[in-house]
Amino acid sequence: MYEAEYEAMYRLEKSYWWYVARRALTAELLANEVKGRSGMRILDVGCGTGANMQAFAHYGKTTGIDTSMDALEFCRSRGVDTVTLSAAERLPFDDNEFDVVTAMDILEHTDDDLTALRELQRVCRKDGLVVVTVPAYGFLWSEHDEALKHRRRYAAHELRNKLAATGFEIVRTSYFITTLFFPVLAMRILQGIFKHSTHPKTSLYLPPKWINEALIKLLALEQRIFRQVNLPFGVSIVALARPDKPARSESIDHDLERLFSLEADDELLTTVTR
């Protein structure tokens, strides 16, 4: 994403409702995986400005990578030093090095998400866990995505197929931020109609304190529902997977991309027409 957005992330990452809710959900998933075990090694791919790594440090030794030197400097200003400049498609780590790998809203930034997934699989232990979050639905595309330099948004079926194709056993996929789906959809439509800026801008801004806290509480309630059932639609998708199957050859990536694109379009059409 544009370098100026990292400064906004640094200011908002610990308080903004979306960051807080996503981090709370991921931390709970990590806690369920760790279950009191010590010596766990956790890799945060696309660590941003480091707030997530600080939270994940409660569950093991954390390492982070990001493609932005500015992001890594913000990490260090938080006291998070175990960070490295790297792309998700070429991780500078040995095979089977980590017990847990998180990639929170990273795949949509990559030029080749299949290669990135293959790398997540490679560095994670065969009995480990990979946690992936991505933005949902192409029809939610907006100026916000452009400002963050997204390449794509996903449907759940597309993400499941890409995980399977790159050697993962899928534990679970679900949508998230379901309760805010229709307000976000309306906002994105209005943003497209009334767009005036010459350069894309994100929709990240801190609302009044009472609204921000209300949204955090609403999504905490949604998180309780998430523990019991998969949510049928939402603004984001969460996937849990284990890298215990051989990955497919890279030579079929082009055909897979075409297949996944068609399947994503089918799921999008089904969702809209329900």
Q: How far apart are CA 36 and CA 170, in angstroms?
A: 23
- Between CA 171 and CA 198 the distance in angstroms is 43
Query: Which secondary-structure segment (H or E) carries 30?
Result: helix 17-34
Predicted TM-score of the model (pTM): 0.86
As given in the structure block, the two tokens for residue 88 are 């998700």
Please answer whether residues 23 and 4 qualify as being in contact, where contact means their C-beta atoms are separated by less than 8 angstroms.
no
Per-domain residue ranges of the chain? 3-273
- Find the radius of gyration of the CA atoms of the chain: 18
Query: pLDDT 10s digit of each residue in the chain, 274 long?
Result: 566 778 889 999 999 999 999 999 999 999 999 987 888 999 999 999 999 999 999 999 999 999 999 999 999 999 999 999 999 999 999 999 999 999 999 999 999 999 999 999 999 999 999 999 999 999 998 888 888 889 999 999 999 999 999 999 999 999 999 999 999 999 888 877 766 666 666 667 789 999 999 999 999 999 999 999 999 999 999 999 999 756 554 444 455 555 555 555 555 445 544 4
Helix (H, G, I), strand (E, B) or coil at 220: helix
CATH of 3-273, one of 3.40.50.150, 3.40.50.720, 3.30.230.10, 3.40.50.300: 3.40.50.150
CA 89, CA 117: separation in Å to the nearest integer?
8
Q: What is the pLDDT of residue 273?
A: 45
- Residue 34's CB: how many other CB atoms inside 10 A? 18
> What are the residues whose beta carbons fall under 8 Å from the beta carbon of 24, sequence distance 6 or more?
219, 220, 223
